[in-house]
Chain A
Amino acid sequence: MAEIIVVTSGKGGVGKTTSSASFAAGLAMRGHKTAVIDFDVGLRNLDLVLGCERRVVYDLVNVIQDEAKLHQALIRDKRLENLYILPASQTRDKDALTPEGVERVLNELKEEFDYIVCDSPAGIERGAFLALYHADQAVVVVNPEVSSVRDSDRILGILASKSKRAEENAEPVKEHLLLTRYCPEKVEKGDMLSVDDVLEILGIPLLGVIPESEAVLQSSNAGVPVILQENSQAAEAYKDAVARYLGEEREMRFLQPEKKGLFKRLLGG
């Protein structure tokens, strides 16, 4: 049975799209047929991060409005044979996403895919709501910073009360914390919330900690999900998170400031 995963946060710019791309790529690398959907109508970006922007012909809204078939809109990744992307539309009409339309697309995807990753837009409006409504599991992306933590708690509230699972009194959406843009040096200085601080406040299980890393910028410049980068801490941290999601035990890494010297050069960035 296919599983729907929403990557959400409330706040913008925390790393949802970066994480959706790498998480979906990570699942595909592990042999699971995965589709990743960009729900950010009007602000399409996942295509750029995954490097397929020039191959977009049809988008999610076209499929919903019956202007294209699902398989015409899905873009197969050039590097990972198990990875498919459904881009967002650039229309300015936010009402183009309808609950019935989204449900139909997800049901169709479920027949073919193992995992469906929904990259949520920021905010708590229609787009964000539709992205999380059908979710079985939620990856809540949080930065160690006050407004991000607070906003993510609001999203947790919405998952618990407004999702389909909540409405139907089914088993609740399974929540995972993905802490990104983490700077161990700042934590050590006492100027950044630590993993433990955030865990204590939000009280949901930790899926992974992604360090602040230049590799993220470099790979989005190149249109390659960062998880495919060699010798990158961010890539390793995303691989660990995917492995944990799939039920494997992995120790948390990159939580301490780096020792200078050889080690840094081996796993730099």
Chain B
Amino acid sequence: MGLLDLFRKKPSGSAQTAKERLRIIVAQERAQRNTPDYLPVLKREILEVIRRYVQVDSDAIQINVEKDEQQEVLELSISLPTDER
């Protein structure tokens, strides 16, 4: 960086950060919007059961409901800690 650049006003670009964060959160909330109301409770209860056996973080469980014309699929994925067996 040259000396002159120090004096030049650079755009701080905080709007870019705002846009990125919004894109992610809005997408996430939209995906959640059309899921059944019982999902959060279901997730909590499954987490409790898992934790009787393995210590996992609360974000280790992903639940998704996929819909197509024929059926609805409840997709459940749990990532276990690597050192646990």
Q: Counting CB contacts under 8 A, is A192 at the interface?
A: yes
- Least Cβ–Cβ distance between B29 and chain A, in angstroms: 7
In the bound complex, CA of A197 to CA of B22 (Å): 10
The total of chain B residues at the interface (CB under 8 A) is 17
Question: Which B residues lie within 8 Å of A189 (CB)?
Answer: 11-12
Q: Counting CB contacts under 8 A, is A246 at the interface?
A: no
As a 0/1 sequence over residues 23 to 66 of chain B, the CB contacts with chain A under 8 angstroms (1 = contact) are 10110011001100000000000000000000000000000000
Q: Cβ of B25 and Cβ of A150 under 8 Å apart?
A: yes
Closest to B19 in A: A197
Question: Which B residues lie within 8 Å of A145 (CB)?
Answer: 18
Residues of B contacting A: mostly: helix
Q: Cβ of A157 and Cβ of B30 under 8 Å apart?
A: yes
In the bound complex, CA of A145 to CA of B25 (Å): 14
The 5 closest A-B pairs by CB, nearest first: A190-B11, A190-B13, A157-B33, A197-B19, A153-B26
Q: Cβ of A146 and Cβ of B21 under 8 Å apart?
A: yes
Instruction: Given contact pairs A149-B26, A201-B22, enumerate 11 new A-B contacts (beta carbons under 8 Å).
Output: A153-B29, A157-B30, A157-B33, A161-B34, A190-B11, A190-B15, A191-B11, A191-B13, A194-B15, A197-B18, A201-B26
Question: Which A residues lie within 8 Å of B21 (CB)?
Answer: 146
Q: Counting CB contacts under 8 A, is B82 at the interface?
A: no
Question: Which B residues lie within 8 Å of A161 (CB)?
Answer: 33-34
**30 contacts across the A-B interface (CB closer than 8 A):** A145-B18, A150-B26, A150-B29, A153-B26, A154-B29, A157-B30, A157-B33, A161-B34, A187-B15, A189-B11, A189-B12, A190-B11, A190-B13, A191-B12, A191-B13, A191-B14, A191-B15, A192-B15, A193-B18, A193-B19, A193-B22, A194-B15, A197-B15, A197-B18, A197-B19, A200-B19, A201-B22, A201-B23, A201-B26, A202-B26
